[in-house]
Every structure is written in structure tokens, then in C-alpha cells.
Structure 1
Amino acid sequence: MTIPTHTTDDELLALILKNQTTAFRELYDRYKAAMLLFAAQRVHADLAEDLVQDVFLNLWKNRSQLEIQERISGYLFKALRSRIIDNMAKNSHAKKYLDSIDAFAQSHMPTDAKVREETFMDSIEALLKRCGPQYQSILRMRIEGFSNQEIADALGISEKTVRNQSSNLMKILRSRLSNCILFLFF
């Protein structure tokens, strides 16, 4: 059955209530573009299309219970507006939820990382106490970002001595702190 193009919206609605798919298709074709434009001004274009489709899908699914007291165009745009608002509220709640999870993670993760870092640094300190004071000075200056030449000048030793002692210190640290390093990163 074809629907004449001069059929009014009220007549289309009456036919839709009688399960006429062609009348539904005509109503869809009449309002789809305007509703897409309306929605796209408020949300992303892909979402706008989904929301418009959802309005029409619900109109068709609930056609037997419909009691529209206004013009169908007003009903469609109000329904679309409600869908847009619901979607924005849902996204807002989702963002709040994700933000709260992020805040929780941020408040607990730094504590865990700090404990790990402190444990690792305590292990280094304990190991350094067994080494000489020159090793301790070299490592502390290394951690602070000094170059070999700057360390050598500050301690009054040659740069080659700094390199050799740094290399020895790194070998000692690697061999004795391998368990701590695993603990630090896992």
C-alpha cells in the first residue's frame, strides 16, 4: 500500500496505530532529516543518528500503547530531546564514575609506589653502609645527576676512578638488589 504524499501527520499516525508500515516509513522520511539536524547540533553526528533511530524504533514498538495528545512532530522532537538529555546524563554519570575510579587509583597507587621506592632506597642505603664512604658519595652524586667529571672534581679523584668505582658499585647493586628490583616493579 502506498501512502499519498499529501496525507496529514494525524492520518499517518492513525495508520501507524493500525500497524501500517508504509505510513510509518512516510512519517520517518518526513521527520528524519529535521530530527538529525536538531540532534547533531547537540551531540556528535553518529550519536545523533542513533538517537533519532531510537526514537522512531520506540514509536513503532510502542504503537499499540501510544496516546499522543499533541501533534506528532512535537511528540517526536520532545522524545528526541529526552533521549539527548538522558544520553548526556548517562555520559555525565559515566564520567563521574570514571573520575572517581581514577581518583581512587591516584590516591592509593602513589602510596604503594612510595612504599616500594622507600623499601628499595632502604636496601640501597643498607648496602652502601657496607661499602666505603667514597662509594656512598659517588652513588649519591650519581642519583642527583652529576656527571663523572663533576663527581671527580668534587671528590678530588680522577674521572677514571669514578668510572671504575661506579661500575663496581653497579655490579654490586645488581647482584645484591635483584630481588628488590623485582619487588619494585611487580
Structure 2
Amino acid sequence: MADAVHITDDALVALIHQDQLQAFHTLYERYKAAMLVFAAQRVDKVIAEDLVQDVFLGIWKNRNQLTIAEEISGYLFKALRSRIIDHMSRDSHAKKYLDSLDAFSYQFTSADAKIREEHFMQKLEELLTRYGPQYQKILKMRMEGYSNQEIADALGLSEKTIRNQTWSLMKFLRSKLSNALLILFF
């Protein structure tokens, strides 16, 4: 194949049928650039290179069974177009699948957190029944984000009394509940 430039596409295909690797390389070099431009207009450049390679790999792997009833250029671009569509379809399905996994994971995590929170709050209410309603009000306001001074003003007590009662209550709760859970809420 000294003068590969003058060999027709049909002759190259015939040589490829005879396992002529040089004919395959010539065909590849002849159409690679145009196919890359075509594919890169539709998908990312790296993906375009992979898809073009895939088309040529398919030709080489199936060279003995390959029957082309049209011009090789038309065959190559139709094969590339098909691979691009397949890629877009897989990519779209993969994105939908990953999005659904994210949504499911969020729902699962959210439901799990809600159950844990409800369980914690139930346990907390059980423990608070041992203390009077003033302690319960202090704790509730503390959980809502009020400062000691704001709680003192709302309940008509001194800030020092609120601090002492909060400290006493927290000491009791720490002995009964996990410190990690208390940190989350206070």
C-alpha cells in the first residue's frame, strides 16, 4: 500500500475484509478528523473521541462479517450518529437514576432524622416530668434559642436563677441522655 492516498474507499474496505491492518489505518486517518468534528459538535470532546474510536473498533472487530451497502463515509457517520444518540440516552438515564437516588437518600435520611428527633423529644419529655413546669419552660425557651437574660425577663426571674436552674437541669439530663444528643439541641 505504497500509495494509500489514491486507493478508493471500496478498495480499502475490501482489504479490511482480508485483515489488512494498514488499510484499516488508512481508512481511520481518512475519516477520523471529520468524524471528531461532527461528534464534538454534539458531545464533549473527550466523549467524541471515545465514540469515534468505538465506531472504528466495531469495524475492525466485525471486519469479516461487515457488509456495507452504501458509501463507507455514509456508513461511518450513521454509525457515529447512532453511538452519539446511545450515549446521550445512557447519560440522560444515568442522570435521572442518580437524581432519583439522591432524592431517595434525602427522604430516607430526613425520615430517619425525624424519627430520631421524635424519640429524643419523647425521652426528654419523660425526664422533664420529674421537674416542675418552670424548668420545662426554661428548657423549651432555651431550645427555641432564647438567651438566659431573655428567659429571665419573660419569666420574671433573675438571670442568675435561670443559669442555675439550666445548669441543674443540664446536669440531670447529661446523666440520663447522651451528650451528643444534648449538643445537637442546646
TM score, norm. by length of structure 2: 0.89
Matches within 5 A, 1:57-68: 57-68=57-68
With 33-42 and 63-72 compared, the bigger mean Cα shift is at 33-42
Gaps of 5+ in 2: none
Residue number in structure 1 paired with 2:17:
17
Closer, same or farther: CA 150–179 of 1 in aligned 2, 3 Å: closer
Post-superposition offset of 1:46: 1.2
Q: Does the aligned pair in 2 maintain the 1:31–1:73 contact within 8 Å?
A: yes
2:128–2:136 CA contact under 8 A, matched in 1: yes
Measure the CA separation in 1 of the matches of 2:164 and 2:5.
92
Tell me what 1:159 maps to.
159
Using the TM superposition, give the Cα deviation of residue 147 of structure 1 relative to its aligned residue in structure 2, in angstroms.
Answer: 1.3
Q: CA deviation at 1:180?
A: 9.3
Deviation at 1:146, TM superposition (A): 0.9
Name the % identity. 68
CA deviation map 1:96-136 (0-9, x unaligned): 33333333334444333222211110111111111122211
Contact 1:43 1:84 (8 Å CA) reproduced? yes
**Distance apart, 1:36 and its partner CA:** 1.1
Superposed CA deviations along residues 14-37 of structure 1, whole A, max 9, x for unmatched, are: 111111111111111111111111
Q: How many aligned residue pairs are there?
A: 183
Tell me which residue corresponds to 1:123: 123
- Aligned CA RMSD, in angstroms, stands at 2.1
Closer/same/farther in 2, CA of residues 165 and 30 from structure 1, 3 Å limit: same
1:17 touches 1:64 (CA, 8 Å); kept in 2? yes
Q: CA deviation at 1:51?
A: 0.8
Taking the aligned partners of 1:173 and 1:3, their CA distance within structure 2 comes to 90
Deviations 1:57-99 (A, max 9, x none): 0100001011101111111111111111111111222223333
The TM-score, its normalising length taken from structure 1, stands at: 0.89
CA distance in 1, matches of 2:8, 2:164: 93
Query: For residue 113 of structure 2, what is the aligned residue in structure 1?
Result: 113
Q: Could you tell me how far apart the structure 1 residues matched to 2:170 and 2:81 are?
A: 66
Matches of 1:167 and 1:70, distance apart in 2: 87
Matching residue of 2:140: 140
CA–CA distance in structure 2, aligned partners of residues 101 and 84 of structure 1: 25
Q: CA deviation at 1:3?
A: 4.3
What is aligned with 2:96?
Answer: 96
Residues 75-90 of structure 1 aligned to structure 2 (within 5 Å): 75-90=75-90
Asked whether the equivalents of residues 9 and 72 of structure 2 are also in contact (C-alpha less than 8 Å), the reply is yes
Q: Which moved more, 1:78-87 or 1:165-174?
A: 165-174
